Amino acid sequence: MDTKPGSALDEFLDNMFALLEWIEPQANGDRQRIQVVVASYFLRFALGTDWHDKYVRLSDTPDPWLLNATDKWYLANRPDEVARRSVFSYRIVRLANAFFTLIKRGTSASAFELLRRRLQTAPDVQPTFVEIEVASFLVRNGAEVRVIEESGIRGQDFDFLAISDGMEVSVEVTSLRHRPLTVQTISNKFKEKRSQVPDGRPAVLYMGIPAEWMVDSATAYSVFTEAATRFMRGSHRYNAFTLLWEAEVLSGTRPATRLTTQSCYHNNPRHRLSGGTVFDMQSEAADRGMADSLLEFLEAVRAKRAATKPK
């Protein structure tokens, strides 16, 4: 990413630095507040004013998943959950960081535009949000990601083609919501996704699941294990399944969200993955985060410019 004065990004960076100078004194050391303001501005830049006003600006008619709700809405609808409004803030920061990572790590303009368009036109932002975080994770950890346009053609209608360690891997991302946690629910989803990827190369499936399913993690893992075992007996097309869910944690006194993953692997897939791919989640790998930090990037560039500025 070219950050030199006079580059295509220079005007955008100058605006971001001006934004930091404005918000930092007001935030009084509240780093999360600074991240939210930066993320909000970045998403307006990346996704447009209309999308920003509908999904990021606080509203009395919020998006049902992002919950960009005002205090008035919470008091009228969920008076016991006003403190959870910070969950929305963390989601906005994660989304901005994911989009930023795709740009920073050199994702092609066509791939970025396809993901941007998917989010702009999605009737439900949550599944596309998961797709973008998965794409961010892949590129941050060394893979090249090509976004596949929807075709409706069996065996060619998957989300990404990822290239890692010289190996091409089909990647499908899906989400399960508003359904009971049962073996049948998971089995049906596996069967639905079976024919979406081609059978000529390795394939992996990322599945976003409701956080409430993981409250009783022992039961949840038992259900997923049984469903995956049944599916893998009859199909060798997928090498791995990775579950993704939002774990709610405390950041100080505030509720925060953290994306958590758990993978399982086919012992006898049709095409084996090499051990060096980003999909090998069985081995310990340092710093396998989901995204780069937009705020940390801006702070680093600002510090570098200040250090090289003529005195």
In the chain, which ranges are E strands? Answer: 144-147, 160-164, 167-175, 203-208, 240-251, 254-265
pLDDT tens for residues 102-128? 999 988 888 999 999 999 999 999 999
Percent of the chain with pLDDT over 90: 60
Q: Decide if pLDDT at 36 tops 70.
A: yes
As beta bridge partners, residue 164 has 167
Q: How far apart are the first and last CA of the chain?
A: 26
Tell me which DSSP letter residue 271 carries.
Answer: S
Confidence check: pLDDT of 39 > 50: yes
Distance of CA 27 to the CA centre of its chain: 26
CB atoms within 10 A of CB 72: 11
Confidence band for 137, pLDDT divided at 50, 70 and 90: very high
CA distance 232 to 227: 9
Query: Would you call 166 helix, strand, or coil by DSSP?
Result: coil
Give me the pLDDT at residue 289, please.
78
Whole-number Å distance between alpha carbons of 183 and 97: 34
State residue 177's pLDDT score: 84
Contact assessment for residue 173 and residue 134, using Cβ atoms and an 8 Å cutoff: yes
pLDDT tens-place string over residues 91-102: 999 999 999 999
**Confidence band for 285, pLDDT divided at 50, 70 and 90:** very low
pLDDT interval class at 135 (50, 70, 90): very high
Asked if 169 and 203 touch (Cβ cutoff 8 Å), the reply is: yes
DSSP-assigned letter for residue 274: P
Q: What is the pLDDT of residue 85?
A: 78
Tokens 């989009």 found at = 99
Work out the mean pLDDT of the chain and round it to a whole number: 87
pTM above threshold 0.85: yes
d(CA 104, CA 178): 35
Tell me what the mean pLDDT of segment 49-54 comes to: 96
Of the candidates 12, 5, 73, the one whose C-alpha atom is nearest the C-alpha of residue 298 is 12
